[in-house]
Structure 1
Amino acid sequence: MALTTTTYGYTKERSGEARPVSPDIAAVEPGSLTFEINHMDLFYGDHHALKDVSMDIRTHEITALIGPSGCGKSTFLKSLNRRNDLVENCRITGDIRFEGKDIFREVDLLALRTRVGMVFQQPTPFPKSIFENVAYGPRLQGISHKGELAGIVEQSLRQAACWDEMKDRLNQSALGLSGGQQQRLCIARTLAARPSVILMDEPTSALDPISTQKIEDLALELKEKYTIIIVTHNMQQAKRISDKTAFFLLGELIEFDDTVKMFTDPSNPKTEEYITGRFG
Structure 2
Amino acid sequence: MSNAVSVPVPLSMSRGRQEVSCLFKIESRNLSLWYGSKQALKSITLGIPENKITALIGPSGCGKSTFIRCINRMNDLIPGVRIEGEILYDGKNIYDRDTDVVALRKKIGMVFQKPNPFPMSIYDNIAYGPRIHGYKNIDRIVEQSLRDAALWEEVEDRLDQPAMGLSGGQQQRLCIARALAMRPEVILFDEPCSALDPISTARIEELMESLRGKYTQIIVTHNMQQAARVSDYTAYFYMGEMIEFGETKQIFENPRERSTEDYITGRFG
Q: Could you state the TM-score of these two structures normalised by the residue count of structure 2?
A: 0.91
Deviation at 1:224, TM superposition (A): 2.0
Show the counterpart of 1:238: 227
Deviations 1:61-116 (A, max 9, x none): 00000011111100001000000000111011011100111101153100110000
For the aligned residue pairs, the C-alpha RMSD in angstroms reads 1.5
Show the counterpart of 1:169: 158
Show the counterpart of 2:145: 156
Deviations 1:120-164 (A, max 9, x none): 000000000000000011011113x5xx11100000000000000
CA contact (8 A) 1:116 1:197 kept: yes
Of 53, 58, 70, the residue aligned with 2:49 is 58
Deviations 1:177-233 (A, max 9, x none): 000000000000000011000000000000000100000010011122100000000
Matching of residues 147-226 of structure 1 within 5 Å: 148-226=137-215
Of 42, 58, 61, the residue aligned with 1:70 is 61
Amino acid aligned to 2:258? P
Show the counterpart of 1:256: 245
Cα distance in 2 for residues equivalent to 1:224 and 1:175 = 31
Show the counterpart of 1:5: none
CA contact (8 A) 1:41 1:50 kept: yes
Cα distance in 2 for residues equivalent to 1:196 and 1:140 = 19
Cα distance in 2 for residues equivalent to 1:141 and 1:59 = 26
Amino acid aligned to 2:234? T
Deviations 1:20-61 (A, max 9, x none): xxxxx89x9x94221011111101111111001101111110
CA contact (8 A) 1:129 1:172 kept: yes
Show the counterpart of 1:228: 217
Cα distance in 2 for residues equivalent to 1:255 and 1:31 = 17
Paired residue total: 251
Show the counterpart of 1:86: 77
Show the counterpart of 1:19: none
- SS state at 1:151 partner: helix
- SS state at 2:159 partner: coil
Show the counterpart of 1:109: 101
Show the counterpart of 1:119: 111
Show the counterpart of 1:37: 28
Cα distance in 1 for residues equivalent to 2:183 and 2:82 = 29
**Structure 1, unaligned stretches of length 5 or more?**
1-24
Which structure: larger Rg?
1
**Following superposition, which runs of at least 4 residues in structure 1 exceed 6 angstroms of deviation?**
none
Amino acid aligned to 1:58? P
Show the counterpart of 1:136: 128
CA contact (8 A) 1:33 1:57 kept: yes
CA contact (8 A) 1:101 1:107 kept: no
Cα distance in 1 for residues equivalent to 2:27 and 2:148 = 28
- SS state at 1:55 partner: strand
Cα distance in 1 for residues equivalent to 2:74 and 2:195 = 22
Q: Could you state the TM-score of these two structures normalised by the residue count of structure 1?
A: 0.87
Deviation at 1:168, TM superposition (A): 0.4
